[in-house]
Amino acid sequence: MNKRQLWFLIVLLLGVSGLVAAPLRVQVQDVALRAKPSYLGTVLTQLPYGSRVQLVQSQGAWTKVTAGDISGWLPSASVSQAEVEMNIGSEGATTSSNENALAGKGFTEQIEQNYQKERHIDYTWVNRMEKIQPPETILESFVKDGPRGAFQ
């Protein structure tokens, strides 16, 4: 292996390590950071949309991350290595080309508000639906009696 090829490999490996260790962003409204890779794992903290976390390891449907000084597990589908779009004009919005492409799709809270106002659409039941929280007693019965599939 000549010098040039050796340098290429070094640069390649550095690039690769940077890619794998790149920060991730939470791409769902909010997600529980759990102590173990299970939906029944203790909730360490809630992370809102757009939160930046660092990848530690991936284990199928679960990803271990650090958020500040807390380390825990998130469902892999709840994080993305791509920039997530913020509200157009919001302070948190960046101007990365990726974000512009996403913001450019345009179906955001601002559009929903205008749509509701112009068409007199009633979102009462939708808002109520989103707030439904099954009581602990029902969830505990699934833990106790099963089924013992992916949820456990």
Partner 1 sequence: MKHQIRKNLLAALLVPLILTLSCTSISLDSSSLSSLVTHAGPLLASAAKVADAANKANEQFTPRQEYYIGRAVAADITSMYKVEPIGPATLYLNALVQVLAAASTMPVTYGGYHVLILDTNQINALSAPGGFIFVTRGLLECTRDETSLAAVLAHEIGHIENRHGLDAIKQERRNQVFVVLGKEVVKNLGNQQLEQLTDTFGKSITDVITTMVNDGYSREQEKQADLSAVSILRKAGYNPRGLIEMLKIMEVRLKPDSGGFAKTHPSPADRIETLAPEIGTKATYEEPAAWTARFHKYMDSLLKTP
Name residues contacting partner 1, limited to 39-98 (CB under 8 A). 39, 49, 55, 58, 60-61, 63, 75-82, 84-85, 88-89, 93, 95, 98
Which tokens hold the place of 39?
């939906």
Whichever of 72 and 85 has its CB closer to partner 1, that residue is 85
The DSSP line for 13-76 is: HHHHHHHHT-EEEE-SSEEEEESSSSTTSPEEEEEETT-EEEEEEEETTEEEEEETTEEEEEEG
How many residues touch partner 1 under the rule CB under 8 A: the total is 79
Least Å distance, CB 144 to partner 1, is: 8
Regarding 148 and contact with partner 1 (CB under 8 A), the answer is yes
Least Å distance, CB 71 to partner 1, is: 17
Please give the Cα distance from 54 to 49 (Å, whole number). Answer: 15
